Amino acid sequence: MILFYLSIVACVVCILLLIALAVTDHRFYILPNEMVLGLAVSALTFHISTDWIFISIEDAILGFIAGMGLLLVVRMAGNYFLKTEDSVGLGDIKLMGAVGIWLGFPNVMMVFILGGGLGILHGVILRYSLLLVARKNNEIKVPKLAMVNIPAGVGLSIATIAVFFYVFGKWWEYV
């Protein structure tokens, strides 16, 4: 019975951390290592307390590798082609590693797809909020959508919550 309560705590911690990560990334453009580590620890706690019945150890390892690996490749390509140092932040890469442990492979790929769409929506909202501020202040220069700095952690965190409920929707029936 204690494992059941431990799995509940791990789920609650996961959701709260993902919300905190989204808010922190939106406001400060940073994903703190402590929060991301807490997400990974809550994933391991959940999976161990449920005896890995939802995601196998192999899928969790593959999810970790796929989550971090894909963004690492995107970062390297982005840095090369855009001639920049930080096309994708290391916090986003670590976040997707922790998400990969939680959701496993191939579910982490659903987070990438959904998170990318949510990131675009977030960027459009940011750009048009800047447009409204510029109009209010009678400024002529408004940044183009391509120039808006969009924190990826927001879309990825929200997408993770959605996929989390898709994957673990009725987890208590199996515990």
pLDDT digits (tens, 9 = 90+) for 11-32: 999 999 999 999 999 999 999 9
The reported pTM is 0.91
**Number of domains comprising the chain:** 1
For residue 134, what are the domain limits? 2-173
For 106-120, b/e burial (b = at least 16 CB within 10 A) is ebbbbbbebbeebbe
pLDDT digits (tens, 9 = 90+) for 28-80: 999 999 999 999 999 999 999 999 999 999 999 999 999 999 999 999 999 99
Calculate the dihedral angle through the C-alpha atoms of 119, 125, 131, 137, rounding to the nearest 10 degrees: -120
Pairwise pLDDT comparison (170 vs 150), residue with the higher score:
150
pLDDT digits (tens, 9 = 90+) for 85-102: 888 899 999 999 999 999
Whether residue 139 is predicted with pLDDT greater than 80 in this model: the reply is no
